[in-house]
Amino acid sequence: MLSFGGRRGGGGGGGGAREVEVSNGTVDGDSFSFDLVFELGDNSITLPYSGTWEGDTMEGTRSGGRGGGQPFTGERGG
């Protein structure tokens, strides 16, 4: 499981972190892809992510949802 937070990261409309399932992860050199599976009541939503990393930072695109792909960035925590 992955702890995920963001503007819509928490349940009940809050912005807190929640745990989500990560599936279908692949790595090829500095490229990666994975799916995040969010459980919402009796439904689940799968959002595909893909991108690249360099050192401790990553960037890429989240597919699906309204409006097509959305860019994201991340940084290794420690």
pTM equals: 0.69
pLDDT in tens, 8-60: 444 455 556 667 788 899 999 999 999 988 888 898 888 899 999 999 999 99
Residue 67 has pLDDT above 50, yes or no: yes
Alpha helices in 1-78 (DSSP H): none
Identify the CA nearest to 36 among candidates 18, 14, 57: 18
Q: Band of the pLDDT at 68, cuts 50, 70, 90?
A: confident
Q: How remote is the C-alpha of 50 from its chain's centroid?
A: 9
Domain count, the chain: 1
Domain span at residue 19 reads: 2-75
Spatial distance between the Cα atoms of 27 and 15, rounded to a whole number of angstroms? 29
Residue 1 has pLDDT above 90, yes or no: no
pLDDT of 9 = 43
